[in-house]
Structures are given as structure tokens and as C-alpha cells.
């Protein structure tokens, strides 16, 4: 039996561990396989990362083309699953539009609705605001007689 001091970032229960020599030999034999497995996972991760970057660049290009066509001021903020598009409106308002990477069809559909929606909202008086529904509001309805 030998004693191995673990690194500082290991859990306290593993700081002083006695390991049988046969167990160390098994670990030594498995290390090359573990390294190969880690390299495969790293390669797969890099492929996924590159795929995500390509999707993001494609979506950003679509957005920029549409915004150039429409002439609106905008901001693009990428997230993990989607891109958030902010569009500046009149009367100190703005839109926040979520565009998912997974579906170019949904993105194109939402981008095509922008001009009509911006026009409609810009025509609404400044006294009106569109916000998210509040859960604490008790809604009432008058019955019709």
C-alpha cells in the first residue's frame, strides 16, 4: 500500500487515500483509453460549437438584411437557444423579438411581420403601453344582460 496526496482542489475526504498497487496498475492501463475518449468528446464539442456559430452567423445575416431593407435601428443579442432582436420604435418604445436558431422558417415568418407590427404600434397613442400580464391583478368582467 502507498499513500497519495491529492491536489488542493479535491474533496477533503480524498486528501490522504491508500490505494492498492494492483488498482494503480489498472488505472495506469486505463489512462490512454480515457485520454482517447476525452479527445473524442472534445472533437464532438468543437463540432457542436462550430455548428452553433454557423447558425448564429446565418441568423444574424438574415436579421441584418431585413433591418437594412426596413431601415429600423436595432440591436442583436445572442443567447444559447435564440437571438434576441431589439427594434427601436417611436415614442421611446422598443420591441423585443426572440428568434430561435432551430427554425429558419420561424425566423423568416417573424421577420416578415416586423414592418406591419412596427407600423401598428407606432400608430398607438403614447398613453398606451403593452406590458406582460401581472399575476397579482384580479381581472373583472361585467356580465351582459
Give the C-alpha separation, 142 to 145, whole Å. 9
Tell me whether residue 121 is exposed, middle or buried, using C-beta atoms within 10 angstroms of its C-beta: 0 to 12, 13 to 18, 19 or more.
Answer: middle
Per-residue pLDDT of 76-107, as tens digits, reads: 999 888 899 999 999 888 999 999 988 889 99
Q: Let me know if 117 is exposed, middle or buried by CB neighbors in 10 A (0-12, 13-18, 19+).
A: middle
User: Which residues make beta-bridge pairs with 14?
Assistant: none
Average pLDDT, the chain: 85
pLDDT tens readout for residues 1-55: 455 555 555 544 545 667 778 887 888 888 888 889 999 999 999 999 998 889 8
Q: Please answer whether residues 99 and 82 qualify as being in contact, where contact means their C-beta atoms are separated by less than 8 angstroms.
A: yes
- Band of residue 73 on the pLDDT scale cut at 50, 70, 90: very high
Amino acid at each position: 500500500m502507498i499513500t497519495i496526496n491529492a491536489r488542493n482542489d479535491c474533496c477533503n475526504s480524498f486528501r490522504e487515500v491508500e490505494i492498492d498497487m494492483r488498482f494503480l496498475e489498472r488505472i495506469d492501463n486505463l489512462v490512454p483509453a480515457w485520454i482517447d475518449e476525452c479527445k473524442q468528446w472534445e472533437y464532438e464539442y468543437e463540432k457542436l460549437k462550430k455548428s452553433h456559430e454557423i447558425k448564429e452567423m446565418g441568423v444574424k445575416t438574415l436579421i441584418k438584411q431585413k433591418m437594412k431593407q426596413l431601415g429600423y435601428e436595432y440591436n442583436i443579442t445572442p443567447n444559447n437557444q435564440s437571438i434576441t432582436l431589439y427594434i427601436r420604435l417611436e415614442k421611446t418604445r422598443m420591441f423585443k423579438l426572440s428568434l430561435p436558431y432551430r427554425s429558419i422558417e420561424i425566423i423568416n415568418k417573424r421577420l416578415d411581420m416586423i414592418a406591419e407590427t412596427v407600423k401598428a404600434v407606432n400608430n398607438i397613442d403614447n398613453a398606451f403601453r403593452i406590458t406582460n400580464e401581472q399575476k397579482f391583478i384580479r381581472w373583472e368582467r361585467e356580465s351582459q344582460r
